[in-house]
Amino acid sequence: DSGVTQTPKHLITATGQRVTLRCSPRSGDLSVYWYQQSLDQGLQFLIQYYNGEERAKGNILERFSAQQFPDLHSELNLSSLELGDSALYFCASSEGETGTGFYEQYFGPGTRLTVT
């Protein structure tokens, strides 16, 4: 158990809908990262937050957005869903700030999103 929790574990929804994935980082970790894992694209970095502020962006679509709240939990919002958005979405957390060295990222168990 990494200490990172993600809910829900599974989510099935229809095209065009909007969903919210939730992540609670390990106790004490200030950074939260979101990744998407799909069969064709592999594991891809989406976005990072540190202590409530966006710090880095990867291959995140404009239809996707995220935020980190004062209690440090984070939510990833996916809207206007398409079939190709079906994937595993992982949250990871680490203690450190971007650019101050490498900090081990601890991954949660993931949310499996199926868009039908």
Partner 1 sequence: GQQLNQSPQSMFIQEGEDVSMNCTSSSIFNTWLWYKQDPGEGPVLLIALYKAGELTSNGRLTAQFGITRKDSFLNISASIPSDVGIYFCAGDEYGNKLVFGAGTILRVKS
Residue placing its CB nearer to partner 1 in the complex, 64 or 106: 106
Closest approach, Cβ 38 to partner 1, in A, equals 11
Closest approach, Cβ 99 to partner 1, in A, equals 5
- Cα 63 to Cα 19, 59, 78, 99, 104: the distances in Å are 11, 12, 6, 27, 29
Positions touching partner 1 (CB under 8 A) are: 2, 4, 31, 33, 42-45, 48, 55-56, 58-59, 90, 92, 94, 96, 98-99, 102-110
Residue placing its CB nearer to partner 1 in the complex, 36 or 115: 36
Cβ neighbours of 72 (radius 10 Å): 21
Closest approach, Cβ 98 to partner 1, in A, equals 4
The phi and psi torsions of 87 (rounded to 5 degrees) equal: -175, 175
Compute the distance between CA of residue 38 and CA of residue 17 in angstroms, rounded to an integer. Answer: 19
Cβ neighbours of 25 (radius 10 Å): 27
Residue placing its CB nearer to partner 1 in the complex, 34 or 85: 34
